[in-house]
């Protein structure tokens, strides 16, 4: 299924739930002591310094689309120039309290698998297992023609000596704004040099599902299998704006599985959730873990 049906504007600011202990008590009652399947979005990672697109007060940005990436060599060069400067920001990010709380819950048998829409690998860094990465991850690059793969670290080692002047020029201007897609906000990229696939000459692309691109069928099937086997579903930090996440919530609802959503701002799943908590994920999970 393609990641379409997207609204780019952030969620409208909403009042934070001020009676967190009472909300968490309701959460425990609804989940009923089960080990919920967890579905996460960008709101889980903002405390790690990774910006998102749609939370309240976010500056509106247009995410990368597959059509944009494939439209021209110039556009791909522009993308890779930005990514070359920014991907290490995501690579250096560390799991926050929400990721570590999920680890504690999983080890205590109080949480099941994680399905994440994030590409930041923070669930894996925190020791969350198992994790289904719906949209891939920033740490791999693949050829769109032959499927050859290379790690993002190894690609950086190849690109760095080709772009010393470019990096020096951009960094000489001072601080650079980092965007949510592991890249930076810059305009002048004509002097950046990118490589093609060394095996077939094809286009190299981060192993990430761009907007407008299809999630791999086997990944979707595994996520649906986890939903069908779950006793409950806990959504953390996702506005559920795109269907790639919302479909799992709808499937859980059709199966009569209890659903709890924790997110700052409204989500598309709110009307079918058994409970919505408008609060920071880390605060809710820390409170939830107190009696775990």
Please, what is the end-to-end C-alpha distance for the chain in angstroms?
A: 37
Close Cβ partners of 126 (under 8 Å, ≥ 6 residues apart): 95, 99, 100, 102, 103
User: Is 289 annotated among the ligand-binding residues?
Assistant: no
The catalytically annotated residue of 135, 153, 199, 253 is 135
| Sole residue written with tokens 């959730």 | 273
Strand partners, 133: 116
| Sole residue written with tokens 């095996």 | 199
Close Cβ partners of 252 (under 8 Å, ≥ 6 residues apart): 37, 227, 230, 233, 259
Q: Are 82 and 183 within 8 A, CB to CB?
A: yes
Phi/psi for 290 (5° steps) reads -55, -40
Q: How far apart are CA 244 and CA 247, in angstroms?
A: 6
| Sole residue written with tokens 């590409």 | 119
CA atoms lying within 13 Å on the CB side of residue 167: 13
Nearest CA-CA partner of 248 in 109, 132, 138: 132
Angle between helix 152-159 and 73-92 (nearest 10): 120
Please indicate whether residue 135 is annotated as part of the active site: yes
Q: How far apart are CA 205 and CA 148, in angstroms?
A: 11
Q: How far apart are CA 167 and CA 154, in angstroms?
A: 17
User: Is 281 annotated among the ligand-binding residues?
Assistant: no
User: Is 146 annotated among the ligand-binding residues?
Assistant: yes
Known binding positions for Zn(2+): 143, 146, 197, 200
Cite the active site residues. 135
């Amino acid at each position: 299924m393609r990641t379409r049906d997207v609204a780019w504007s952030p969620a409208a600011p909403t009042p934070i739930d001020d009676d967190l202990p009472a909300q968490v008590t309701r959460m425990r009652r609804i989940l009923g002591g089960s080990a919920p399947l967890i579905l996460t979005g960008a709101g889980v990672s903002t405390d790690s310094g990774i910006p998102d697109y749609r939370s309240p007060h976010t500056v509106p940005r247009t995410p990368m689309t597959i059509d944009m990436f494939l439209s021209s060599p110039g556009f791909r060069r522009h993308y890779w120039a930005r990514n070359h400067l920014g991907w290490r920001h995501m690579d250096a990010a560390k799991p926050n309290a929400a990721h570590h709380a999920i680890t504690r819950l999983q080890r205590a048998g109080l949480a099941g698998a994680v399905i994440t829409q994030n590409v930041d690998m923070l669930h894996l860094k925190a020791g969350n297992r198992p994790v289904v990465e719906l949209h891939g991850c920033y740490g791999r690059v693949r050829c769109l023609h032959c499927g050859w793969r290379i790690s993002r670290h190894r690609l950086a080692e190849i690109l760095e000596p080709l772009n010393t002047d470019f990096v020096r020029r951009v960094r000489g201007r001072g601080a650079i704004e980092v965007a949510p897609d592991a890249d930076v906000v810059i305009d002048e990229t004509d002097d950046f040099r990118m490589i093609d696939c060394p095996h077939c000459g094809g286009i190299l692309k981060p192993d990430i599902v761009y907007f407008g691109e299809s999630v791999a069928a086997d990944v979707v099937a595994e996520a649906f299998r986890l939903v069908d086997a779950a006793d409950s579903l806990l959504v953390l930090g996702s506005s559920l704006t795109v269907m790639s996440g919302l479909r799992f919530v709808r499937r859980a609802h059709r199966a009569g599985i209890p659903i709890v959503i924790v997110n700052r701002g409204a989500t598309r799943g709110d009307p079918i959730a058994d409970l919505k908590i408008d609060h920071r994920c880390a605060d809710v999970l820390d409170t939830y873990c107190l009696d775990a």
